[in-house]
Amino acid sequence: MRIVLLGPPGSGKGTQAALLADALGVPAVSTGELFRAHVAEGTEFGRMAAVFASVGDLVPDDATTTMLIERLEQPDCLAGYLLDGFPRTVGQAERLREELRARATRLDAVIDLEVADAELIRRMTARRVLLDGAWVTRADDQPETVRHRLEVYREQTAPLVEFYEADGIVRRVDADADVDTVAARVLAALDLGTPNSTQPPVG
């Protein structure tokens, strides 16, 4: 299955992507993680991406899409993948659609994780990462940057729900709940039942 996971920053997208990818047996591909790996390796590309990410802006479409398509060409993505954080603009979605068409394939579903802004800000400003043995706030999780990332999401990424509505593949999920509840809702939205389901597979 080829699935896109949409949701504002702080909606639990990364956590749900890992759980769902596991349940489906496909890799979770996160452009945010791919960028952070470049930043950590100190590549030229990483230095460019860091300038945008540190202030909560999107990295330009061309560089982002090229990096993503390269990743999707790896053998582990042949049977499917779960995209976390891509596409983030209509331009990226159009380019992805073209690339998939060229390979005679398409997306199976787009999951939209819905959470109210106030809860997103509360979650993100509370989130910590381990850096050199100390727990710190991620640079792009500072309150001002968080607000800006939400604006960017509303302006540039939220329109993707409508973009994919036209294909009839959007599944909206109320993500204002604990991790397991949201995971069960995501599986149900994909008609895959609950993770602990004892039902035998049909067909």
Nearest to 89 by CA among 47, 59, 109: 59
Report if residue 95 touches ligand AMP, rule: CB under 6 A. no
Residues 6+ apart with CB under 8 A from 200: none
Q: Which is closer to ligand AMP, CB of 16 or CB of 92?
A: 92
d(CA 175, CA 163): 21
Residue 69 C-beta: closest distance to ligand AMP, Å: 12
Report if residue 45 touches ligand AMP, rule: CB under 6 A. no
The answer to whether residues 81 and 107 touch, using CB atoms and an 8 Å cutoff, is no
Nearest to 179 by CA among 1, 37, 13: 13
* Residue from 140, 141, 150, 186 in contact with ligand AMP (CB under 6 A): 140
Residue 158 C-beta: closest distance to ligand AMP, Å: 14
**Per-residue x/- mask for ligand AMP, residues 99 to 118, rule CB under 6 A?**
--------------------
Residues 6+ apart with CB under 8 A from 79: 25, 26
* Residue from 28, 64, 141, 187 in contact with ligand AMP (CB under 6 A): 64
User: Which residue shows structure tokens 């540039």?
Assistant: 156
Residue 23 C-beta: closest distance to ligand AMP, Å: 21
Strand partners, 29: 83
* Residue from 7, 26, 85, 185 in contact with ligand AMP (CB under 6 A): 85
d(CA 174, CA 145): 25
Number of residues that bind ligand AMP (CB under 6 A): 17
Strand partners, 6: 112
* Residue from 7, 8, 12, 32 in contact with ligand AMP (CB under 6 A): 32
Q: Which is closer to ligand AMP, CB of 47 or CB of 188?
A: 47
Q: Where are the beta strands (DSSP E) in 26-74?
A: 28-30
Instruction: Name the site residues for ligand AMP (rule: CB under 6 A).
Output: 9, 31-32, 35, 52-53, 56-59, 64, 85-86, 88, 92, 140, 149
